[in-house]
Each structure stands twice: as structure tokens, then as C-alpha cells.
Structure 1
């Protein structure tokens, strides 16, 4: 096997670059790549879900499909990339993937430059005048919902670019370090993947506070503020930043060698915990995997490995929950705790930082320090899943919905709610397409000043107030009865406890991710290890991360109590108000159901697991096997190096653990 190539580009391989030519250097590059990938796909895209719904008139079920476009491409390519890519120059394939990821980001933010300015009122009459204003079809005659296909295609390009990263990249790391250190390296790599979404949420929250068309419209022409439900932030700005970072990542990965020094030795040392049936079948054929004809045989071997199949199904179950909350957690916080989209995104990032990083790193350290074998790791995952079940009731910490006349609270003294039209405003002819809330002095929100029956505007400097409102039975203060925006509520203090407890849910969820990956690498023989990881990712995407956001999106849509009513085609647009209680209960049911399913699958995997070597570390047989592997690798390295005949002669006899060995 080709060992220890130099880091560089063609003939440019200076010594000062060789500090990167090892597993640690590759781990740094891998970490930066997963940060950029997470920042783009799991950060900026997800944090912009609510904004994209408003800007392009989409529903949650449609934005859920945008999220899974990435996974669709991953499913299509992963088996072929891992089977054939494992024998190719893996770092260079990853470099090509980084370039493709940049192209996908370019396509994703292009709709901002191919559409007109964002219009949020369309000439509607805001007061109760009894006259019908514009129907909104003149200035926005064609809705932008068809751009959903552009976003889906861009996400597919993202998936193509990242397929080598989470398959070949992880395999390079696992191949390049000793078995006892692999869990820590993989844990650090997975922990780095948390920074990406966190950066996406944090920076995304900042850019969403900037007007979407700031590059086309002067700031003094913008009359809305970020707290206004019609506000749309600069969702495209973060995507543009990710594009630049992805193109820069091509440089380091193009310089890594095919494999690092010591890779062959480490591969030989990782055979004791391979599943007995699969390992024996591969061992019978030394050339297995060198031909495309072995492709179906490899699939059949994986299907026969019960532990592998059950761990894969458990990962699929976990992926449903992770992808769903990753996509919609900012939206859940926004609607359950009445926060702006930008602030909700930042809060989602805040609880993901400590929970995700601590979960990955601590799990890797536990496996390394306690030298957990495969069966013990599977039991550890069961405990983590049960801990999440115990903490899941924190999802019931929510704030009740604001009082919105006709939606969550009847108009006046009426005992029934029949929509936005009531006796007090039936002659107003109000638009029902754009949510332009006002707060009355009775501390009740109204869909618009028109819905509140207001017939008079009261100017007050830069602010605008409303008076003579037939639906507000309160004496005016300083000549006004209502002001723009939602009423400020201070009767809910659930956000702090929710964030604190949910952070631990995140931690225990991620504590089972790295161990599950370690199990997959340990139970498969080296020749099909990367391929097995690719097939596993295929099922995780197909059965987990693809249906997860779609399922969450549909469940969230079921809790909507006020839909946008498009006037041009009389169809539903995005949702303005969700029922916070129903949203919390649905999220709780999904969480507990998924975690119980994962626990059962990890338990069955542990039951069916049978290692190649039945002896535990410390038994003489296992010690001797590991010792022989070390001796073989040491001698091979000596003979492959440029040693003199005298030095080679010295390598033929040496001692190991007090015993003298002779190399024949």
C-alpha cells in the first residue's frame, strides 16, 4: 500500500507544509468543512424558513421539502461514492465536493437578485372606510411560490457536494488513528459539526435584522421594524458568506496525500470486534471489493449483519428527531414564546452550542477512558435515549397565545369566534391577506386597524396611532385607542426554564451519535467499512432526515389557527398564528415516540451482536493478537523505509513484552 505521501500541490511540497500531513491536520480541515456545511445547510437555510415563507408565499410543508432536497442527493450518491471512492484519492474527492457546495450556495441566493422588491401591503386600505381597496393583484400578480423548485434544486447540489464529507472524510479519520483514539477523534469531528448550525443561527439572526432589500432601497424608505410580522430580513446574505467559505476549502483538501503514514498498521489492528459472520466472509477473499462485481455481495453481507441493520434503523429514528428540530426549532421558539425570527434563531443556537459540543466530546471521552467495547457502547446509547425521554416534558413549557380578536379571543362581549369579521367591523371591507396587527388599549390584538374598526389616524411624530375604533370599547388616551404592532405581554416566564432543560435534551441526544458511529466502524471489516457507512447514511437520509422535516412541517401546519388568504387565487399562503399549546403537545409526542423506538432498536442490536473475538481486553489471546499486529506493522514499516542492510538486520530480532521475537 502507498504510505506517507507528502502534503502539497504537484511538485510544490515544501517541508513547512508537512505539519498538516497527518490525521490531526486532516481533522482540522474536516472540522472547518463540517462547520461551513452546517452553517449553510443546517444554519442559514433553516433559520430562514419563516422568512422564506413570507417572502415567497410558502407553507411549512413546502419549506420542509426544501430542507430534504439536500438529503435526496445524499441518498442517490452515497453508495456509489463510498464503494468506488474508497479506492480513490479520498481527500481530492472531498475537495471537489467543497467546490460543488459553493455552486449550490450560489444558486440558492440567486432568487433575491431575480425578483423585485418585497411588497408587504400592496395598496390595501388600512382603515375602516367602507370602501374596498386594491385587491393586491396589480403589484404582485404572480406569486413567487414557484421559486420553491429553485431552492430544492440548490439543496440537491448541496447534498452532492457534501456526500464525500460525511462518508469518505470520516473513513479517513478512522483509518488514520489507533482504535482507542478513534472515538475521541470522531467525537471532536462531530462536535465541530455543531458550530456550523450555531454560527448559522447566530449570524442568521443578525442578518435577519437587516431589511431584505437593503442593497436596493435606502434605509430611510423602510417603514417596518423587525418586530412587525411582515418584516423580511436579508436571508440571502448568510448564504453568500457560506459560498465564499466553501470555495476556499478546496485549497487545503486538494493538498492532502492519498493516505497518511501508519494507516495500514491501524487498519490491521481493528479486527477483534468485527461482527463474526461478516468478518469471516470477507476474510475468505483477500481481493474482495476490488471489482464492481462485488457490489451486490457487499450489500448482501451488510443485510445479514443484524447488529449493523438495527443500529442503522436506530440512527434513522434519531435522524427524524434531529432533522425536525434542527429545521423548525427556531420557528417553535418564535411561536411558542412570541419572539422575533432573528432572536428565536439566536436562542436556538445558544442551547445547541453547549448541548451539542459537550454531548459529542464527552461521549468520545467516555468510550476512550473506560475502553468501552461494542456491547457496552450500545447499552450506553440506551441510557442516553431514556434520559431524553425523562427531560422531554420540558416541551410543555410554553407561553399562551396573545389575545387576537376573532382568532384566540371573541370580539367584545361575544361568546363565539367566527373569524375576523364581527358585528363591529362588518361594514369595513377589510383585507385578510396581510397580517398588520394593532394593539388596542384593552390589551387585545387585532388583525389590522381596519379589523379593529378604526376610522381615524392620529399622527404623533414618527409614530402612527388609531382612534374611533368601533371594536375597542375603551376610552381613548390622548386621542387614540390603538397603536401598531403586537401587545406587549409580561405574564410568561417559561422561556428561561425551557432553554435550560432543553439544552440537556440536546446534550443527551448528541451523546448517542458518536458512539453509534464508533459501533458501525467496529462491527464491519475494513474492506466494506466505508461502504457500510455510505449505505447507513443512505437509510438515515431516506428514512430519517428526509421524512423528518416533512413530518414536522405537516404537524406544525396542523396547529395553524390563522392562514394567509391569498386574494388573487383564493388559496392559502403562509401561517400567521399557531396554537402554542397544540404545538408544544405535538412536539412532545414526537420526541418521546422517537426516543422509545431508538432505545428498543439499540437494545436489540446489543442482543444480536457477536464479535469475532469473544475475549475481552486483558485476555491472553487478545493481547497476543494485538502484539502480533504491532510487530507486523513495525517490521513492514522498517522494510518499506530507506534503511541500510545493517539497520534492516537489527529489525529482524527484537523484544516485545519481555519476549524475544525473530522475523522469518
Structure 2
């Protein structure tokens, strides 16, 4: 019997595992046909070869022993020292591995397109890179939608409540199809199913841009261009009157005709956007449920954490790319070939919101085609699987079941009896609900609490979150791969992160600015009408705050009773003849105005655009520091949570487990959470707008009540999630995360 077969026999005998670990391996050349299960296969070049080389199982065995040599720590009186493997021998085995024959399931390509060049990329590193890039640009689509949603609302006159319903379409589709797709696709060619899912995201991108193709930039936008504005048959006096009307839109005007603009009755753009979201949810479901299970099944367990962390890191770049692309596209006019008569700072400006969808769709289509070329099983994983079959040849094997509804229900029932899996999902649900307001409303929260601009708030949210989250993900992956902590340590770390998160959210309640004084006094019982502006007809004036010369903030120039305005710069105006403002003898705006603008004999005061400045820099920087800390610690828990989630279920159940998790998270977290916290935000609204159909959008939130109500509810929800993490910690004491744990246990017990 050859040396390689002797080693394999020893490996099959579990009672002699300790001797196998330390036995002396003699490498000799055997004449055999190398294949996975002693069956002749045709190699990737189509030529049937017989090889005079060492059996592939010998290579895997020695490589496995070489890895175990580094892991197992023996007592001095225990087994004899294992031999070392020279670099020349390892090179010899690596060359043999490269030349082994490949099957259709282990070769890159589709149909007859399986060149030898492609086989160089059939490895875990290329897959993780492509998978991470797909996740990156898939995440960018969500960020781009959020970044351009106000432009969509402006173009098609979509209300905020309708926009919320449209965005939920993505989660609705995941609720109904995640389990089915993950079950049936999990038993098929997973890379091709991932590509199929990503092509549905490509379709989502194209459908979202379709309303622009069908309906154009809109009449209002065309009238604000040189090309079309001149075709409106307006003479010089009409044009002057038009611009004067626009100028006085927010001023006090006793001759104003009180009215409102009705919403567009055309439902087709809204229906197209909703259907696009439904289709896009399919791709997200397939990507998350199949991508990580394929990675976990084809990569050595000890290397999974660092590679998963790298994929997470690439995915986290997506929101930054999406917001940056939205910023770039919205700086272009909705019809880039036209010349607008207004600038970016004009509220009527409509950017090229549709352009980014074409760019993202093209990139995703290219990457999806590449990932479809991956084999059903990576070659090295196929070798490990074949060796496992040989080792267990004498043991009863569980037959592979065909996909069926009955088997799927049996699988779900089996998962529901898995306490670790159930508690881990419950923890994720409450964590997601608790963190949802910070994911969705953080820019608005910063803008409301610290009186910062929307653009700066978005910038801070994106950059700070990205940097510290990325550091946390990468660092945690490296640490877990290096030290290979047990399941209980990983679960305990998740509990620690939960406690830190709760404390951080509680601290948010004490960090913020006070509400502007005049707004506090003018919105008591939501009464924004005063005697001084009674005839100004301000009911349908949007929130355009101004600061008086007495350092008081008014909701708009109209509410301050201002009748004239003058532009000082692109972003700053001075409003005069304000009947609700008494003149200040100290003239604090003297350096901003001139004698031509200001009438010294006027009995009325002045105001400038924007809220009165408040010194909140200290509170904001403390808040930013807490955010950075929570982002970092939260990111370190992603790899550990993933490992516990996939290791606590049987290997055959992993695709369904991932899909079922997506379903329950969508149903119980991603769909209701925006509705819940949207309602909470509405309860803290101080000033509501008016529309033809009743209440419109909120002009101003009570920052003081908002930070208390929102943060305390979020902290309670995360605390509940931490409790369920404690349940996970209790039930994972016997869970094995890495292969080495199983091997060490076998050696120590003599099994």
C-alpha cells in the first residue's frame, strides 16, 4: 500500500486521529489518475491525460497537517513532534494541484466559453473582490435614490408619504420571495443566481430613469431655460412682472391670491417607480442570501472572517459613492444640453437626477456578467469536499433531497427549532429598528439639532460614518482570523457593543441646541399668525427662516411682515419694511446694507435670510465624537454576528437561513421602522405647511422634544436586542466556529 493511501486510511479511522496528526509523512511518487473520486475526467483543455504524480489527496492531507501543526498546542509529555514540510515539497504539491483535471462544476465560464485563461480567476480572492464590488454599487443605488429623492418629488410633485410608500416596495418584494429564492437557488448554481439577481437591480436602475424618458424634464423646468423661456411669447414687461412675482413669493403681499398647487394626478410615474423598487428588492435578496453562503462554503473557515470583512468594507464604500454621484449629477441641469436661467442655489433648480441611474446600471451589468462566470464550486473547495466524502465513505450519508415545497417547509421548521438562530434573528430585528432613524434621518437630525445646512449634514453623515465603520470592519476581521475566538467570546462582544450603543443613544438626549427664541414664542398652540402679519396671507408660504436685527428667528419673511428684499450675494438676502420687527438703533446689519437699501426713517425693522446663529459647536463636536465611537464599535460586530449566524445552522440549511433572515428583517424591521419613526418625527413638528388636500410637510421640528423622544425609544429597542444577544451567548457554548476547534477537540479526547 502506498504512503498516501496509508495516511488516508489513518485519517479515516477516528480512533487513531491523534496518531494521524503527528505521524511522519513520507512523500513518494505514485502512478495514478488524479481526480476527485477516482473517476476519469476530461481536463479544462479537453485532453484526457494520465498523470504520473502524487494523488491530490496526499497533498491536501499534508497541507492540512501542516496547518494543524501551527494550531495545536501539545503538552510536553504528549505526542511526538510532527515533521516539517519543506518549501520544495509544498511547491511540488502546488504544481500538482494546478494541473489536476477540472469538471464543468469547477471551471470558470459558461457553455463552451471555458478557456484556460479564465481558470486562473477561479479562486476565493477574485470572488470576494467581485462580490464586494457588486455589493458596493448595489449599496450605491440606495444612497443615490435617497440623494435624489427630493428632485423626484419636485419633478413629479410626489408627496413625502407617497415617496415613503414607494421606497418600501423594495422590502415588500423581499418579504415574499427571499425564502423561496434562497431555497431553490441555493441548490443550484449560486454565482449565476447572484448574477440574475443583480440584473434585476440593473432593471431597477433603468426603470427608475424611465419616467424622464417618457415625460421629459417638465414644463416648469423648460420655462427656466434660455432656449424655452424665450418661446413663451412674453414681452419685456411680462418678463419683468414674472420675475417680480417670483421675487415676492415669500414676502408679505396683501394682494396675494391665497391658493395652492394641486398635486399631479398622473399616477404612472409613481407606479413605474414603485414597480422598479419591487424588482430591485429581488436582487438584494439573492445577493445577501446566496453570496455569503457561497463564500462560506468555498473558503476555509479560518480565512472566512477577514475575507467577509473585506467584502463588508467594499460594500460600505457604496453609500459614499452613491451620494457623491448624486451630488455630481444634481449639479447638472435636468436637461444638460439646455442653458438654465437660474443657478444651483435657486430652489427651483432641478438636477439631472436620471443620469446616475444609467451609470450605476451599466457598472452593475458589467460586474454581474463577470460573477456569472464563476463555477458552482471553487476547485480547492471541491478537493476538500471529495476528501471529506472519502473519509466518511464507511459512514451512512444523508441523501441529497430534491427541491420541493415540503422540504422547504421542513427546513424552515428545523430553523425555527434552532434557539441560537431564532434569538440571533430577534436581536437583529430590534437592533435594526433601533438604528433605523439614524440610518434614514441622521442628516435631518443633525440639521434640526445643530442648525447646520443640509449639504454639510449629509457630508458629515457620509464621511465620518464611512471612515470609522471601515476601520472597525477591517480590524475586527483581522483580529478574528488571527486569534480565532470561540463562539461565546464573539457573542459576548456583541452584547458589549449593545451596551455601548444604548449608553451612546442616551447621551444623544443631552447633546443639542435650544430652539430659536422667536419661533418658540410664535408657534405656541401652532399659532403662527400675529397682528403685524395678519394681512400678509402667509398660509401657503414655505419655511424660509430669517433672522431679525434683534436676534429673533421668524419662519419666513412673510411671517416677519417683510415687504422688500435685496440680494447681497448668491446665498444671502436682506429683507426690509418688516412690520413684525422693530428697528434697532444699533443697526446690527449696517455693514450688510447701504443707504439705498435701508430707509433710516422707516418705522419697521430688517432681517437677513437664515436662522439666527447659535453657538452649538461644543455640543456638536461631542456628538460627533460619540457617533464615531458607536460607528466603530458597531462595525466590529458585523463579522462576529455573521459567523454566529451561519455556523449555528446545518450546512445544507445556510441558504434558506440567510433568506429567511432577510424576510423577517424586512417584515418586522425595515418596513415598520420608517413608519414608526416617521410618526415620531411628525409628533414633534412645530409648524406644518398647508396644501390643497390638508396638512403638507413639516416646516420646523421641536429639536428639544425630538432628541428626547427619538433617542429614548431607540435606546429601549437596542436594549431589547442586547437582551436577545445575551440569549445567544447562553446557547452558543457548544458551537464551533472554526475547523481547528473540532480538530483540537478530537486530539484532546482521543476520538
* TM-score, normalised via structure 1 length: 0.81
Within the alignment, does 1:142 sit opposite 2:254 as a pair? no
More deviation in 476-485 or 493-502? 476-485
Give the deviation of 1:612 after TM superposition.
Answer: 7.3
Within a 5 Å distance, the mapping from 1:314-329 to structure 2 comes to 314-329=427-442
Residue in 1 that maps onto 2:176:
76
Within the alignment, does 1:472 sit opposite 2:573 as a pair? no
**Per the alignment, in what secondary structure is the counterpart of residue 106 of structure 2?**
coil
Match of 1:374 among 482, 487, 495: 487
1:79·1:531 contact (CA, 8 Å) conserved in 2?
yes
More deviation in 324-333 or 79-88? 324-333
Residue in 1 that maps onto 2:468:
355
Residue in 2 that maps onto 1:14:
115
2:541·2:558 contact (CA, 8 Å) conserved in 1?
no
**Per the alignment, in what secondary structure is the counterpart of residue 409 of structure 1?**
helix
Residue in 2 that maps onto 1:658:
none
2:649·2:657 contact (CA, 8 Å) conserved in 1?
yes
Residue in 2 that maps onto 1:128:
252
2:166·2:273 contact (CA, 8 Å) conserved in 1?
yes
2:106·2:382 contact (CA, 8 Å) conserved in 1?
no
In the TM superposition, what whole-angstrom CA distance separates every residue of 1:384-432 from its partner, at most 9, and x where no partner exists? 1112222223423654366375x43349xxxx67533211111222342
State the alpha-carbon separation in 2 of the partners of residues 620 and 450 from structure 1: 77
* Equivalent residues, number: 604
| Distance 1:151-1:355 versus aligned 2 partners, 3 A rule | farther
**Per the alignment, in what secondary structure is the counterpart of residue 15 of structure 1?**
coil
Match of 2:559 among 442, 451, 458: 451
Within a 5 Å distance, the mapping from 1:377-388 to structure 2 comes to 377-388=490-501
Match of 1:513 among 638, 641, 645: 638
1:420·1:451 contact (CA, 8 Å) conserved in 2?
yes
Within the alignment, does 1:255 sit opposite 2:403 as a pair? no
Residue in 2 that maps onto 1:218:
339
Residue in 2 that maps onto 1:545:
670
More deviation in 316-325 or 553-562? 316-325
In the TM superposition, what whole-angstrom CA distance separates every residue of 1:107-151 from its partner, at most 9, and x where no partner exists? 2233455262558999675443421236244xx563789855543
Match of 2:683 among 558, 583, 588: 558
| Distance 1:586-1:44 versus aligned 2 partners, 3 A rule | farther
State the alpha-carbon separation in 1 of the partners of residues 388 and 715 from structure 2: 36
Residue in 1 that maps onto 2:67:
none
State the alpha-carbon separation in 1 of the partners of residues 205 and 611 from structure 2: 38
Give the deviation of 1:471 after TM superposition.
Answer: 0.9
State the alpha-carbon separation in 2 of the partners of residues 375 and 464 from structure 1: 61
Task: Select the structure of larger CA radius of gyration.
Answer: 2
**Per the alignment, in what secondary structure is the counterpart of residue 575 of structure 1?**
strand
Within the alignment, does 1:525 sit opposite 2:650 as a pair? yes
Residue in 1 that maps onto 2:311:
189
Give the deviation of 1:33 after TM superposition.
Answer: 0.6
Give the deviation of 1:64 after TM superposition.
Answer: 3.8
Match of 2:728 among 593, 600, 605: 605
Give the deviation of 1:173 after TM superposition.
Answer: 0.7
State the alpha-carbon separation in 2 of the partners of residues 340 and 583 from structure 1: 18
Give the deviation of 1:370 after TM superposition.
Answer: 2.2
Match of 2:615 among 488, 491, 494: 491
* TM-score, normalised via structure 2 length: 0.72
Residue in 1 that maps onto 2:325:
203
Give the deviation of 1:592 after TM superposition.
Answer: 1.5
State the alpha-carbon separation in 1 of the partners of residues 284 and 738 from structure 2: 39
Match of 1:154 among 245, 251, 276: 276
| Distance 1:290-1:619 versus aligned 2 partners, 3 A rule | closer
Residue in 2 that maps onto 1:177:
299
**Per the alignment, in what secondary structure is the counterpart of residue 439 of structure 2?**
helix
Give the deviation of 1:100 after TM superposition.
Answer: 1.1
Give the deviation of 1:531 after TM superposition.
Answer: 1.3
Match of 2:700 among 571, 577, 592: 577
| Distance 1:611-1:268 versus aligned 2 partners, 3 A rule | farther
Give the deviation of 1:38 after TM superposition.
Answer: 0.7
Match of 2:718 among 583, 590, 595: 595
Residue in 1 that maps onto 2:400:
287
Within the alignment, does 1:96 sit opposite 2:210 as a pair? no
State the alpha-carbon separation in 1 of the partners of residues 299 and 108 from structure 2: 18
Match of 1:32 among 108, 133, 148: 133
Give the deviation of 1:619 after TM superposition.
Answer: 7.9
| Distance 1:126-1:519 versus aligned 2 partners, 3 A rule | closer
Within a 5 Å distance, the mapping from 1:296-311 to structure 2 comes to 296-311=409-424
Within the alignment, does 1:44 sit opposite 2:144 as a pair? yes
State the alpha-carbon separation in 2 of the partners of residues 214 and 331 from structure 1: 29
Q: Which runs of 5+ in 1 are unaligned?
A: 272-282, 629-664
Give the deviation of 1:24 after TM superposition.
Answer: 1.0
| Distance 1:473-1:80 versus aligned 2 partners, 3 A rule | same
State the alpha-carbon separation in 2 of the partners of residues 611 and 31 from structure 1: 31
1:50·1:341 contact (CA, 8 Å) conserved in 2?
no
1:358·1:507 contact (CA, 8 Å) conserved in 2?
yes
**Per the alignment, in what secondary structure is the counterpart of residue 700 of structure 2?**
strand
Within the alignment, does 1:422 sit opposite 2:530 as a pair? yes
State the alpha-carbon separation in 1 of the partners of residues 653 and 199 from structure 2: 27
More deviation in 240-249 or 451-460? 451-460
Residue in 2 that maps onto 1:435:
543
CA RMSD of aligned residues (A): 3.6
State the alpha-carbon separation in 2 of the partners of residues 539 and 86 from structure 1: 18
Match of 2:709 among 586, 591, 596: 586
In the TM superposition, what whole-angstrom CA distance separates every residue of 1:279-328 from its partner, at most 9, and x where no partner exists? xxxx8743246544312211111111111111111111222234432222
State the alpha-carbon separation in 2 of the partners of residues 385 and 161 from structure 1: 30
Residue in 2 that maps onto 1:238:
356
State the alpha-carbon separation in 2 of the partners of residues 319 and 196 from structure 1: 19
Within the alignment, does 1:116 sit opposite 2:218 as a pair? yes
**Per the alignment, in what secondary structure is the counterpart of residue 434 of structure 1?**
coil
State the alpha-carbon separation in 2 of the partners of residues 315 and 521 from structure 1: 14
**Per the alignment, in what secondary structure is the counterpart of residue 422 of structure 2?**
helix
Residue in 1 that maps onto 2:521:
409
2:254·2:537 contact (CA, 8 Å) conserved in 1?
yes
Match of 1:345 among 454, 458, 463: 458
Within a 5 Å distance, the mapping from 1:617-656 to structure 2 comes to 622-623=745-746
In the TM superposition, what whole-angstrom CA distance separates every residue of 1:543-597 from its partner, at most 9, and x where no partner exists? 122222222222222222122211x33x122222222222222332133212211
| Distance 1:146-1:506 versus aligned 2 partners, 3 A rule | farther
State the alpha-carbon separation in 2 of the partners of residues 192 and 202 from structure 1: 16
Give the deviation of 1:600 after TM superposition.
Answer: 0.9
1:65·1:550 contact (CA, 8 Å) conserved in 2?
no
**Per the alignment, in what secondary structure is the counterpart of residue 521 of structure 2?**
coil
State the alpha-carbon separation in 1 of the partners of residues 210 and 749 from structure 2: 56
Give the deviation of 1:342 after TM superposition.
Answer: 2.7
State the alpha-carbon separation in 1 of the partners of residues 569 and 659 from structure 2: 63
1:5·1:258 contact (CA, 8 Å) conserved in 2?
yes
